[in-house]
Amino acid sequence: MELLFERSRSGRSLINIPAAAVGDYQLPEQFARRSPLDLPAVAEVDISRHYTELSHHVHGVNCGFYPLGSCTMKYNPKLSEEVAVLPEFTQIHPLQPAHTVKGCLEVLGLAQQYLCEITGMDAMSFQPAAGAHGEFTGLLLIKAYHHSRGEGAQRTKVIVPDSAHGTNPASATMNGYTTVNVPSNADGGVDLDALRAAVGPDTAALMLTNPNTLGIFDKNILEITKIVHQAGGLVYYDGANLNAVMGMVRPGDMGFDVVHLNIHKTFGTPHGGGGPGSGPCGCKAFLAPFLPKDQIQRTADGYCLSQPGQSVGRVRSYYGNFLVVVKALTYLLLLGADGIREAAQGSVLNANYMKTRLADVYQAPYPGFCMHEFVLSLEQLHHDTGVSALDVAKALMDNGIHPPTMYFPQIVHEALMIEPTETESKETLDRAIQVFLDIYHTAVTDAESLHQAPLHTTVRRLDETRAARNPILVYAPKKD
Ligand SMILES: *Cc1c(COP(=O)(O)O)cnc(C)c1O
């Protein structure tokens, strides 16, 4: 499709405003631009059609099923959006005196209280803007803690299971730690013997996602956190999969010391497209003195800002993405304690329904019950027919379904990682299951046609190598 710049015709404009009754104001020479401003000249109707057409070229939760594993792409109530645009929340400035924004402080205070209750933590910072940022902040706390005990120089290693999300080792490296990988056992959990062999006086922390990216809840979790604590290390909870367990079990009770949450996955904020997120970092009381500056504290007459004594400093400006926290609090109040628990149960039920129906045909490398997501391996299908996980993903797009997460976790070959979420109806799941089964049938009978998919999308197969090596990130106007 044409870009706005290409649609531009000189002289066209958005709206015809009557000529001003006052004369033009001339900017002082030093502020005036040297060359004309190169903006597209487009009529309002054309600009409206342009953006509407663009919106038809993407797939979002509002278009159809979006089972992107590990991302919790669920439908989020529109009410949260309405609350977040109330002028009382948008028409404020972060430098306003605290006593003029008491309601906003209460939002942060209440969200902190509820999310601490759900996670079993004692304090929380809303500064981190995303999950990875929360991981980085959590490891800063852990580092500050070890330093405060004189063990900072000695504890240089962070242990990460081989099923971990890539941000875990990245956050550890960003904090100057060396990562140590521990393998998974046959059940998809942490191999306890390998963990015992890996921990020692150089262990700073273990980072763990539970349920993990295979959709498996590690039944040995109490033993795992004990092994790390006995070695003097701390245990970090990657909360990206909290959707499966919120209101059921709490990371704090599993023995975790620090958590991050992905509000944009679990608590009512749409994500994808790089929109604002929030990755609050929560911790047990003994780590609270190290939290980023500007904590929200409850007082006799409301909430105030406080500065933790041994703070690691700021990790972002002001209070993080405040309006995302407004949406999270709306979601929490809307669902209540029962609703939060039911959402978790629904996500597990939906995943098991799909897994059970698909595992008869596709192969599930970890059989049995799963939590909120499950992984299929198309290794055998690929071997027998030449149809890969990528081919199946492309064929799903032709059927109005966003592909699942592919080729992750890396311990499963030809992986498709499916997370239906609790917000999908049985009819939607049944339709998606039928599409998966039909594609399998096509793979066996007409493999070649799947190598051609997708046939009905705006763009077909992209040259991914070229896109990665020679990305075009800036619009270059055509010279005429
Ligand atoms: C999404 C995700 C992250 C990173 O979170 P962002 O908010 O995308 O930075 C970390 N761990 C797991 C398991 C995830 O799914």
Could you tell me the residue ranges of all domains in the chain?
Answer: 1-9+40-60, 79-334, 345-467
Helix (H, G, I), strand (E, B) or coil at 210: coil
Ligand 1 center from residue 198 Cα (angstroms) = 25
Ligand 1 center from residue 464 Cα (angstroms) = 23
Ligand 1 center from residue 261 Cα (angstroms) = 9
Closest-CA residue, ligand 1 atom 2, reads: 240
CA distance 310 to 315: 14
CA distance 458 to 421: 27
Helix (H, G, I), strand (E, B) or coil at 157: strand
Q: Which of 167, 217, 371, 418 to mutate to test the pocket of ligand 1 (most atoms within 8 A of CB)?
A: 167
Ligand 1 center from residue 240 Cα (angstroms) = 6
Sheet architecture: strand order including 415-418 = 374-377, 415-418, 405-406
Cα-to-chain-centroid distance, residue 150: 35
Closest-CA residue, ligand 1 atom 8, reads: 131
Burial of 256 from C-beta contacts in 10 A (0-12 / 13-18 / 19+): buried
Atom of ligand 1 nearest to the CA of 130: 7
Closest-CA residue, ligand 1 atom 6, reads: 131
Among 149, 137, 118, which Cα is nearest to 258's?
A: 137
pLDDT attached to residue 301: 86
Tokens of 194: 């390998």
Atom of ligand 1 nearest to the CA of 72: 15
Q: Which of 127, 165, 371 to mutate to test the pocket of ligand 1 (most atoms within 8 A of CB)?
A: 165
CA distance 72 to 266: 7
Among 307, 300, 268, 299, which Cα is nearest to 125's?
A: 307
Ligand 1 center from residue 160 Cα (angstroms) = 14
Atom of ligand 1 nearest to the CA of 264: 7
192 near 218, Cβ under 8 Å? no
Among 205, 210, 206, 175, which Cα is nearest to 189's?
A: 210
Q: What is the pLDDT along the chain (480 residues), one digit of tens a residue?
A: 888 889 999 888 777 778 888 888 888 999 999 998 888 899 989 999 999 999 888 898 989 999 999 999 999 999 999 999 999 999 999 899 988 999 999 999 999 999 999 999 999 999 999 999 999 999 999 999 999 999 999 999 999 999 999 999 999 999 999 999 999 999 999 999 999 999 999 999 999 999 999 999 999 999 999 999 999 999 999 999 999 999 999 999 999 999 999 999 999 888 866 678 999 999 999 999 999 998 999 999 889 999 999 999 999 998 899 999 999 999 999 999 999 999 999 999 999 999 999 998 999 999 899 999 999 999 999 999 999 999 999 999 999 999 999 998 888 999 999 999 999 999 999 999 999 999 999 999 999 999 999 999 988 998 889 989 999 888 777 665
Q: Does domain 79-334 fall into CATH 3.40.50.300?
A: no
Ligand 1 center from residue 238 Cα (angstroms) = 8
Atom of ligand 1 nearest to the CA of 135: 10
Closest-CA residue, ligand 1 atom 5, reads: 131
Ligand 1 center from residue 132 Cα (angstroms) = 6
Q: What angle do CA 147, 251, 256 make, to 5 degrees?
A: 25
Ligand 1 center from residue 215 Cα (angstroms) = 14
Atom of ligand 1 nearest to the CA of 133: 9
Atom of ligand 1 nearest to the CA of 209: 13
Atom of ligand 1 nearest to the CA of 238: 11
Sheet architecture: strand order including 123-125 = 123-125, 281-283, 258-261, 234-239, 203-209, 157-161, 178-182
266 near 71, Cβ under 8 Å? no
What is the DSSP code string of 235-300? EEEEETTGGGTTTT--HHHHT-SEEEE-HHHHSS---STT------EEE-GGGGGGSPS-EEEEET
Q: Which of 133, 238, 372 to mutate to test the pocket of ligand 1 (most atoms within 8 A of CB)?
A: 238
Q: What angle do CA 360, 361, 362 make, to 5 degrees?
A: 110
Question: Does the bond joining 28 to the residue before it have cis omega, within 30 degrees of 0?
Answer: no
CA distance 127 to 130: 9
CA distance 82 to 86: 7
Ligand 1 center from residue 165 Cα (angstroms) = 7
Atom of ligand 1 nearest to the CA of 164: 13
The size of the chain, in residues, is: 480
pLDDT attached to residue 476: 79
Ligand 1 center from residue 101 Cα (angstroms) = 31
Strands 258-261 and 234-239: parallel
Ligand 1 center from residue 358 Cα (angstroms) = 26
68 near 372, Cβ under 8 Å? no
Decide which of 3.40.50.300, 3.90.25.10, 1.20.58.100, 3.90.1150.10 is the CATH code for 345-467.
3.90.1150.10
Q: Which residues line ligand 1 (CB under 6 A)?
A: 70, 130-132, 165, 167, 209, 213, 238, 240, 262, 277, 279
pLDDT attached to residue 274: 61
Of the chain, the end-to-end C-alpha distance in Å amounts to: 19
Ligand 1 center from residue 204 Cα (angstroms) = 21
Ligand 1 center from residue 70 Cα (angstroms) = 7
pLDDT attached to residue 345: 98
CA distance 289 to 145: 9
256 near 236, Cβ under 8 Å? yes
240 near 408, Cβ under 8 Å? no
Using CA atoms, how far residue 23 sits from 19, 20, 26, 149, 242, in Å, is 10, 7, 9, 69, 60
The H or E element spanning position 395 is helix 389-398
| Same fold: 79-334 with 345-467 | no
